[in-house]
Structure 1
Amino acid sequence: MILSVFFSSIQKSFWDLVIFCRYPLILVLVMVSTTSCRFDAYPTLLAKDGVLDASTANFSGETINLTGKWEFYWNEFLDPKLESPKQKSYLKVGVPWFSQENEDGENYPSFGFATYRLTVILPDSPNTEGEPLAVLIPVLHSAYKMYVNGELVAENGTIAKTAKDHKPSFHIKIIPLSRVSKKLDLVIHISNFSHKYAGIHGIIRFGKLQNIIRIWNVNNTITWVIMIFMLLLAAYHALVYFINRSERNALRMAFVYLGILILSSTLIETKILFNLFPDEYCVSLFRLSRLGFVLIMYFGAYILLSLTQMRFFKRMIVVLKIYALLFAGVAIFTPISHLAEISFHFEFLSTIFVFLGLFSVSLAMYFQRKQSRLYFFSLLLAIIGGAIDLFLIVNPNFGYRPMGLVSLYFFIFPQTLGVTLGLVRVYKRSESLSKELYKRKEALEKKVKARTMELEKANRWKANFVSLISHDLRSPLNSVNQILDVIDFSFAESTEVEKKKFLEICKTGVTQSLRMLEQLLDVSRFDAFGTKLIQTRFSVNDLLNEIIESVEPLATLKGIRIQKDTPIQAEIIADRTLIGEVFKNILTNSIKYSYLNSEVWVGVSYKGKWLAVEIRDRGLGMSEEQIHKLTGEENIKSMPGTAGERGTGLGLQLCMNILEAHFGKLRIKSVLGVGSAFEISLSKSTKSVLLVDDSGNFRTDLAEVMRRNQWIVIEAGNGEEALSHLSRITPSLLITDLQMPGMNGISLIHEWEGRRHQNQKIPIILVSSDAPLSGGEKFLEEEGLETIVSAYFSKMYKAEDLCQQIESILD
C-alpha cells in the first residue's frame, strides 16, 4: 500500500513537471530540429589567402561553399585577365564588408566599389562523365560582374564608381561553366550605393549543375511553401477575427503573418519577388521589405505590450504607434541613397520594443495572465534564435547557416496555436451552450405543453363541475323551496305525518346539497399549480375504519353489510384528508349502486411495491364503454343509484386526480348486472424526502427522479414552508437549497435542529449552485455543520447523478 502511494505520487509529480514545461520542451525540440537542417556541406573547406583547395572534394553528390578569405581590393576594378597585384588585402565572404576592418583598423564604408578574387584548386577530373559544373550566385549587394578564368560569365545590375551611374539588382543566378580546368580563377566586381549590407553577403555554391539546380529547386520550393503558408495563416487569422470579433489579437496576428510573407519573399536567400520582377522594381521591392518589417514589429509588439494591461505598457503602445508611423514614412519616402542607413538604425532601435515585450510577458506570467507562459517561452526562444543568427552571420565559416525567419516562427506559431485553441474553446463552449439551450428549450416546451394540457383539462373539468353542480344543486333546493312554500301555505291544515314527511324531504335535499358543497371545496384544492398536498404518515386501517363508520348509516338504510378484510397494519405517507375522500367516494358509490340487502367488501393487501385497497360491490355494474367514459374527460351525467340516489358524476374523476397527485393508480373491473371492483394502489414506501428549494425547475426535476426511485417527495418552496411540513411529518431525508429568500438553508437547518426531538434526527443534504463539484467538506467545517449536514452537493449535477450521489451517501 505504501509503495503504491509512493509510486503514484512520483508519477503525479512527473506529469505535473511535464505539463509545466510543455511549452519550452516543445519549442526547444523544434529549434534543435530546425537548426540541424541548416548544416552545410564541407564546412572545413575554407579559402586561405585567396586560395581554396578543393582537390579532395567529391562533386558526385555534393556542392562546396566558397567561404573563407578572398583577395579584396577596395575602390578598384581589377583586370580579370591580369595577375593579382603584389600588394593584397584579404576579406571574409558571407559577411558584408562594412563590418570588417581594413589595414588601418577602420571599417569599410557601405557605399563604394571593390574587387573580390578567389583561386579554386579542383580535383583532376571535376566534371566526370561529361557533367558540367556551375555556380549558384546569391544576391551580391548590389550590382556585380563575375569573371571565370578571365571571361565574363555573369552580370547583374550596372556597376559603377559613382552613385549616379550605379543601378542595383537583387537577382539570383545559376551560371553553368562549360570549360573548367584544374584551376578556377573567380573575379567579381561589385559596386554598392543603395544598401547597407554591401559585398558578398550570401554564400556562393560551386558544384555539378544538376546538384546546383536541385539545391535551388529545394530552396525555391521551400520559400514558396512558406509564403503560401503565411498567406493562408494571415487569411485564417482574419477569418477568426470576423467569426469572433472579440479576438482582436487574431486580426493583429493576420498583419504579422502578412509582414512575414513580405519578408519571406524579399529577404530570404531565394529573393522570390526580386527574381519575378525586372530590375526597375528593385528599389520599390526594397521599400516593401521595410514595410513588412514595420508590420511585424508594430502588431507583434502591440500583442506583447497589451498582455499585462498595465498603464506603463499602454503608454509604450502609444510610443510604438508613433515609432511605426515614422519607420513606415522613412521606408516610403526616404531617398534610396539614405534609406539603407536610416532604416538600419530604425531596425536596431526596434530591439528596445522586443525587450519591452519580453518584460511585459514576464510580468504577465507573474500575474498569471491568460497564455502568458506560451508567449514568454516563444518570445524568449525567438530572441535566442536571433542571437544565434547574429553569431552565424558574423562567423560564416562555422559550418551552419543563419536560421533567418525561423527564429521569428518560434514566436508566431505558438500564437497561432493559442488563437486556434481559443477559437476551439469558444466553438466548443458555444456548441455546448447551444446544445444545453436547445435541450432546455425542448424541456421547457414539453413542460409548457404538458402544463397547458393540464390547465385545459382542469379548466374543462372545473367548468363541467360547476355546470353540473349548479344544475344538481338547483333541483334539491328548488324542491326544498317548493315544499317550504307548501308548508307555509297549508301548515295549519297539514297532519303531523305530512309535516314529518315534508321535513324529511327537506333534510334529504339540504344534506345532498351540503355533500355537493363539500366536494366543491375539495376541488378548490386543485389549482393551476397542481394539488397542494399536506402529507403526513398515517395508518390506512384507522382511516378506513373512520370512513366505514361515516357511511355505515347509508348502508344500513339499504340493508347492505360492509365486510372488512384487513389482515395487515399498513402505514403510508400521503394527504390523509384527500385519501380519505377517495375511500369515502368509492365506498359511497359502491353502496349507491349495490342491490338492497347485498354486501360491500373492503380489503387491504400488499402487491409488490404497492399497497392495494380493494372495494367490491354486488350491484348494477358497468360496461367497458361506461368505464371508459367515467375515466375519460367527457361530460357525463350521474346515473341514479339502486334506490334512486342522484350524484354529480364527477366524484370518480375527483378521486383519480387525487390519486394522480399521489402517483397512485385506480383500476376498475366490472360486469354489467353483477357488480364492480375498485382497486386503489398507493406506494407502500415510507422512504420520504422533504425537498426545499425556491427554484421550481430544479425542484421539479429532482423530485421526478426521486419519485421514480420510490421516494415519497414532499416539496417546499422556502424555509418557512419546510418548517410547516416538519411540524406534521418527520421525513427520512431533508434536502435544502443554501440560498433562498427569507429563511435560507443554513437558517432552516439550525431552526430544525433547535425544534426537533432527540429521536427526530434525520440526514440533511445541502445543495447550492455555488458548491464545488467535489470537496464541499471545507465549507461545512467553516459553517460548523460538519456533524449536522451529511453532504454538500452542487446543483450543476444532472438530477439523475445528484439522486445517485444522495442515495450513495445514505447507503
Structure 2
Amino acid sequence: MGRKFSIISMFAFVALFACRETPIPKERPTFSEVGVLGLKDRKLEEINPFPLEGIWHAFPGKLAETEEDFLALEKEVPIPLKIPGYWIDQNLPPHGCVTYRLKLDVDLPGNLMIYLKEASSAYRLYAYSKERGLVELGGSGTLSLTKEGSIGYYGESARSFRVFPSSALYLVVSNHLYSRGGPYYSPILGSPELTLVFLRTKERKKFFFLGVFFLLSLYHLVLYLHRRRDMFTLFYAIMCFMWFLRIALFERVTRDWFMPSDFMEMLQIRLEYLTFILLQIFAVNFFYHFFSPHFKPRTRNILIVPLVLILLVTLFSPYSVYTKFLYITQVYMMVLLVTSYRGIYRIIRNRDTRHTGIVFLLGTTVILATTVYDSLVFLYRWELPFLTEFAFTFYSICLAYEIANRNSYAWETAEYLTTNLRNEVDWKTIELRKEKEKAEKASEMKDKFISIVSHDIRSPLFGISSVVNLLTESPPSLSPDKTKQVLNDASIGLKNLLSMVEDLIQYSRFQNATIFPDYQLFDFNLVFESLKEKAKSLLDTKNLRLQMDIPDSAVAIGDPHLIQHLLWNFLTNAIKFSHPGSSIEIRAKEINQHWNLSIIDQGIGFPEDWAERIFEEGFVYVRKGTADEFGAGVGLAFCKEVSDRHGGLLVAHSLEGKGSHFTFMLPNYDRVVLVLDDNPGYRSQVRKILKNLPVVIWEEEYADHALQSIPKLRPDLVIVDFSMPEKDGLTFLTELYANPDMVEIKSLMLSSSQNDPKTGKKLEEDLLKIGGDSFLKKTVSDERLFLEIKRLLGFL
C-alpha cells in the first residue's frame, strides 16, 4: 500500500514540476519611466524571461506598417496605457486599433528575445533602431483599419533581435468584434538562451498533460472493452478524453492543423466550452456508477439537468451569449465537487471502504481548491499561472488508483487461474512431445535393430549354431585340434556379437537421455594408454602395429569415459577394416584451441560419397571386416551424439582401398559455459549464438544432474532456464549458491515471463536476492543475449 502511495506522490511531484513556469527573479528590470524599460547596468545575457507589464506609450487609432509610419508617430503625443501581465482589456470599441511603443534603455548593444503568446487580435511586433532600422519580429492575423478587413486568431511569436541604445519595441494591434482588445498575455522579454529554456518548459508542460490524459483514456477504454461490465471505467475513460480535448483546444494545439481563419477560431472556442460541460456530465455519471450504493438515480438526474441545458445553449447560441455561462460552469463545477463529499463521507464511515474514501477526499479537495483558485485568477486578472491541469491530473490519478484497486482482485484471480492453466498445458505439451519423440525413436531403433539382426547378427549366430551342432554330434566327427579351432571361431563370433549389442545399448541409452556427459578435466595420455591396453588382444590377432603421437601435456575438458568410448569405436573400426600386418596411427594435436584426435589406418577404406553421411543417424552400412568381422552400424552414430554433446566436430576422409582417417575435434578453451534447459531446441539455439565465442559449451537437461557435475568442473557462467519440469531455475541457483565454493560462478537466468507465475513476484528481484547476476526474457534478440553473455564472461 505504501508503495502505491509513493508512486502517486512521485507522479504528483513530476506533474507539479512540469506545471511550473520558469521562475522570475525578484529584481527583474522595471520601467524607469512611462514607456521606457530600464536595462542599464544589466548583463543582457543574464536576464530571465519576464512579462513586459507596465505603462506603455500608446497611439489609439494608428496602424503603423512602414518605417515612415513609425517615424511619423514620434512627432505625435502618445497617451499612457497599461499592459497588465494577463488578459489585456483596454476597453476599446468593438472594433479598434492601437500602436504601443516601449523604448529599451541599454548601455551597450546586445541580444534579446521577445515572445508573445495567445493573441486573439491581429498583431505585429517590431523592433526599431537607428542602427538596424525597422525589423519585424512576428505577427498573427491581418491588420486593418476596417472591421471587415481585420482578421485575428490565436498565435505565438518568438524571435531574438539586436538591441541598441536607440532601440524601441512596437506592438501594433487590430481587434475585431469578439476580441477583448488585445493579446491575452503581455509580451515576455529575456535573453535568447534563457527564453528558449522557458519556451521548452512550456511545451513540455503542455505535452506532458496531453500524454497523461490520452494514456489514461486509452488504457481505461481498453480495460472497459476487455471486461464490458464496469460502466464507471467507460465514463472515466471519456472524462480523461474530454480533458485531453480541453487542454488541446485551450492550448491551441490545432492552430497548426488548419489555415488560420475566423471560423476555425470560433469553432475552437465553442468546442473548448463543450468539452468542459461534457466533462462534468461524464463526471456525474462516473460518480453514480462508482458509488452506486451511496448515489441515488434521482440525485444524478437532478445534477445532470442543468448541465444539459448549458450544453444546449453552448451548442446553438452565438459567442456573445454562451461565453457568459463560463462563470456559471465554474461555479457548478464547485457544486458538483462539494456534492461528491456526501458520498465520500459515507464511504469513509464504512471500515472496508475507508481507504477508497480517503483517496477520493484528497483528490476532490485538491481539484476543488484549484478550481476556486483559477476562478479568482480569471475574475480578478491576477498575474498567476493556472493550476487546473495539475489538479485534474492529480485527481485523475487518484481515481485511476481506486479503479485499479476495484479491478485488481478480479484481475489477479483471473490471471492466476490463466497462468496455472497455461502452465499445465505447457507441461502436458512438453510431456506429450517427449513421449512422442521417445515413441518415434523407439520405432526407429526397432526398425534399425531388426535390420541389424537380419544383416549382421544372423551370420555370427549361424556360425555359433553350426559349432554347437558339430560339438553335439554323436559320435563326434571332429578331431581335438579341429574342435579347438571351431571353438576359437565361435569365441570370436561371440565377442563380435557382444560388441555389436554393447554399441546398440549405448546408443539407445544416449537417445533416451539415460547417459549424461560428466564434464571434468582429464589427461588424454591416460585415455590412450587405456585404449592401447584394451585393444592389445585385437591388435595381436591381426598382427597390427599401433603408433601413438601424443604430447606429454594433453589436458582437456569433457567426459573422459564417453570420449574414450568414441575413440574406442574409431579404433575398433580401424582394426576391423585393416589388413593383417599393417599399422594404425593415433595422433593428438592442439590446433586453433581445439584438440584434433585422429585415428588413421591403412585398411580397405570406404567410398568417398560416404564421408558426408557416415555419421548421420539412420545411415546403415553393411560391410564385413578384413577377417569377416561384423558391425552393428550404430557405433558412428553414437560417436556423433558424443561429439555433439561436447560441441565438437567429426571429420572422415577415405579412398576406397587406401585406408581411412577419422578425426574428432574437441574445443579446448579456458572458459566454460553451462547451458541448463530442458528444451534441446533452445540449447541448440544458445550454442549457435555462442559458436564464435571462445568457450566450452556444456549442455545439461536436468538440474539435479547439473548440481552433481558442477563440483567436478566449475563453469565460468551458468545459463539456466526458469521453467523446468522438475526444478525451476531459481531453486537450482539457490541450491548451487548454498555451497560457498560456488558463489563466484556467474549466472544468467532466462524466462518467457518477467514474473513468477506462482507468486507473481519479479523474477529479476528474486534472482538478485539469491546472488544471481543477470535476467533476460527469452524473447530478447540474439544480439542482446550474446552481448550480455560476453559481459558476464568479461569479454567486454
TM-score of Structure 1 vs Structure 2, range by shorter chain: 0.5 to 0.7
Residue 558 of structure 1: aligned partner: 542
Paired residues for 1:434-449 under 5 Å? none
TM-aligned CA distance change 1:597 to 1:664, over 3 Å: same
1:525 CA displacement: 2.4
TM-aligned CA distance change 1:320 to 1:537, over 3 Å: farther
Asked whether the 8 Å contact 1:618–1:675 carries over to 2, the reply is yes
Instruction: Report the AA paired with residue 802 of structure 1.
Output: E
Paired residues for 1:573-612 under 5 Å? 573-612=557-596
Asked whether the 8 Å contact 1:382–1:409 carries over to 2, the reply is no
CA RMSD of aligned residues (A): 6.6
What TM-score does the superposition give when structure 1 sets the normalisation length? Answer: 0.53
Residue 150 of structure 2: aligned partner: 214
1:413 CA displacement: 11
Asked whether the 8 Å contact 2:672–2:696 carries over to 1, the reply is yes
Paired residues for 1:28-43 under 5 Å? none
Name stretches of at least 5 consecutive residues in structure 2 with no aligned partner: 1-10, 25-49, 66-77, 82-88, 97-142, 154-174, 181-209, 225-232, 252-260, 314-321, 349-354, 400-429, 756-760
Residue 641 of structure 1: aligned partner: 625
TM-aligned CA distance change 1:629 to 1:454, over 3 Å: farther
* Count of residue correspondences: 563
SS in 2 for 1:518: helix
Residue 281 of structure 2: aligned partner: 298
The answer as to 2:653 corresponding to 1:669 is: yes
Residue 792 of structure 1: aligned partner: 773
Partner of residue 807 from structure 1, selected from 762, 782, 793: 793
SS in 2 for 1:601: strand
Provide the rounded CA distance (Å) in 1 between the counterparts of 2:639 and 2:648. Answer: 10
Residue 489 of structure 1: aligned partner: 473
Instruction: Report the AA paired with residue 785 of structure 2.
Output: A
Residue 522 of structure 2: aligned partner: 538
TM-aligned CA distance change 1:322 to 1:257, over 3 Å: farther
Residue 748 of structure 1: aligned partner: 735
TM-aligned CA distance change 1:314 to 1:704, over 3 Å: farther
Residue 19 of structure 2: aligned partner: 24
Paired residues for 1:335-374 under 5 Å? 348-354=331-337
SS in 1 for 2:488: helix
Partner of residue 460 from structure 2, selected from 435, 453, 476: 476
Residue 303 of structure 2: aligned partner: 324
Instruction: Report the AA paired with residue 210 of structure 1.
Output: T
Asked whether the 8 Å contact 2:584–2:600 carries over to 1, the reply is yes
Residue 765 of structure 1: aligned partner: 746
Paired residues for 1:6-155 under 5 Å? 21-25=16-20, 57-60=60-63, 136=95
Partner of residue 664 from structure 2, selected from 662, 677, 680: 680
Asked whether the 8 Å contact 1:567–1:604 carries over to 2, the reply is yes
SS in 1 for 2:669: coil
Paired residues for 1:778-789 under 5 Å? 779=769
1:632 CA displacement: 4.9
Partner of residue 390 from structure 1, selected from 379, 384, 387: 379
Provide the rounded CA distance (Å) in 1 between the counterparts of 2:776 and 2:486. Answer: 67
Provide the rounded CA distance (Å) in 1 between the counterparts of 2:330 and 2:551. Answer: 101
When structure 1 is superposed on structure 2, of 742-751 and 680-689 the one drifting more is 742-751
Instruction: Report the AA paired with residue 387 of structure 1.
Output: L
Asked whether the 8 Å contact 2:94–2:177 carries over to 1, the reply is no
Provide the rounded CA distance (Å) in 2 between the counterparts of 1:565 and 1:290. Answer: 94
SS in 2 for 1:524: helix
TM-aligned CA distance change 1:208 to 1:41, over 3 Å: farther
Provide the rounded CA distance (Å) in 1 between the counterparts of 2:554 and 2:656. Answer: 32
Provide the rounded CA distance (Å) in 1 between the counterparts of 2:324 and 2:152. Answer: 31
Asked whether the 8 Å contact 2:547–2:583 carries over to 1, the reply is yes
SS in 2 for 1:646: coil
Provide the rounded CA distance (Å) in 1 between the counterparts of 2:366 and 2:295. Answer: 22
1:458 CA displacement: 6.2
1:568 CA displacement: 2.8
Provide the rounded CA distance (Å) in 1 between the counterparts of 2:373 and 2:23. Answer: 11
The answer as to 2:542 corresponding to 1:570 is: no
Greater Rg, structure 1 or structure 2?
A: 1
Paired residues for 1:718-733 under 5 Å? 720-726=704-710, 729-733=712-716
Asked whether the 8 Å contact 1:687–1:731 carries over to 2, the reply is no
Asked whether the 8 Å contact 2:547–2:586 carries over to 1, the reply is yes
Residue 433 of structure 1: aligned partner: none
Name stretches of at least 5 consecutive residues in structure 1 with no aligned partner: 1-15, 30-35, 45-55, 68-93, 96-117, 121-133, 138-206, 224-231, 265-269, 277-285, 393-397, 420-446, 754-759, 781-788
Provide the rounded CA distance (Å) in 2 between the counterparts of 1:777 and 1:258. Answer: 45
Residue 450 of structure 2: aligned partner: 467
Instruction: Report the AA paired with residue 543 of structure 2.
Output: G
TM-aligned CA distance change 1:385 to 1:659, over 3 Å: same
Provide the rounded CA distance (Å) in 2 between the counterparts of 1:318 and 1:572. Answer: 83
1:692 CA displacement: 5.1
Instruction: Report the AA paired with residue 568 of structure 1.
Output: D
Instruction: Report the AA paired with residue 744 of structure 2.
Output: P
Provide the rounded CA distance (Å) in 2 between the counterparts of 1:685 and 1:341. Answer: 84
TM-aligned CA distance change 1:458 to 1:553, over 3 Å: same
1:593 CA displacement: 2.0
1:733 CA displacement: 3.5
Asked whether the 8 Å contact 1:375–1:411 carries over to 2, the reply is no
SS in 1 for 2:585: strand
Provide the rounded CA distance (Å) in 2 between the counterparts of 1:222 and 1:416. Answer: 34
TM-aligned CA distance change 1:293 to 1:696, over 3 Å: same
TM-aligned CA distance change 1:527 to 1:331, over 3 Å: same
Asked whether the 8 Å contact 1:301–1:354 carries over to 2, the reply is no
Residue 531 of structure 2: aligned partner: 547
Provide the rounded CA distance (Å) in 2 between the counterparts of 1:349 and 1:484. Answer: 114
Which string of whole-angstrom CA distances, capped at 9 and with x for unpartnered residues, describes residues 163-222 of structure 1? xxxxxxxxxxxxxxxxxxxxxxxxxxxxxxxxxxxxxxxxxxxx9851575157876899
Asked whether the 8 Å contact 1:620–1:673 carries over to 2, the reply is yes
Instruction: Report the AA paired with residue 321 of structure 1.
Output: R
Partner of residue 656 from structure 1, selected from 633, 640, 660: 640
Provide the rounded CA distance (Å) in 1 between the counterparts of 2:566 and 2:377. Answer: 92
Provide the rounded CA distance (Å) in 1 between the counterparts of 2:444 and 2:511. Answer: 12
Provide the rounded CA distance (Å) in 2 between the counterparts of 1:455 and 1:494. Answer: 50
TM-aligned CA distance change 1:60 to 1:534, over 3 Å: closer
TM-aligned CA distance change 1:317 to 1:21, over 3 Å: farther
Asked whether the 8 Å contact 1:27–1:378 carries over to 2, the reply is no
TM-aligned CA distance change 1:646 to 1:20, over 3 Å: same
When structure 1 is superposed on structure 2, of 613-622 and 704-713 the one drifting more is 704-713
TM-aligned CA distance change 1:61 to 1:272, over 3 Å: same
1:746 CA displacement: 6.0
Which string of whole-angstrom CA distances, capped at 9 and with x for unpartnered residues, describes residues 784-804 of structure 1? xxxxx6x53224485323322
1:650 CA displacement: 3.5
1:240 CA displacement: 5.2
Provide the rounded CA distance (Å) in 2 between the counterparts of 1:263 and 1:713. Answer: 63
What TM-score does the superposition give when structure 2 sets the normalisation length? Answer: 0.54
TM-aligned CA distance change 1:703 to 1:654, over 3 Å: closer
TM-aligned CA distance change 1:385 to 1:654, over 3 Å: same
Asked whether the 8 Å contact 2:583–2:602 carries over to 1, the reply is yes
Provide the rounded CA distance (Å) in 2 between the counterparts of 1:20 and 1:238. Answer: 14
Asked whether the 8 Å contact 1:301–1:357 carries over to 2, the reply is no
Which string of whole-angstrom CA distances, capped at 9 and with x for unpartnered residues, describes residues 738-763 of structure 1? 9786692465236534xxxxxx6672
Instruction: Report the AA paired with residue 518 of structure 1.
Output: E
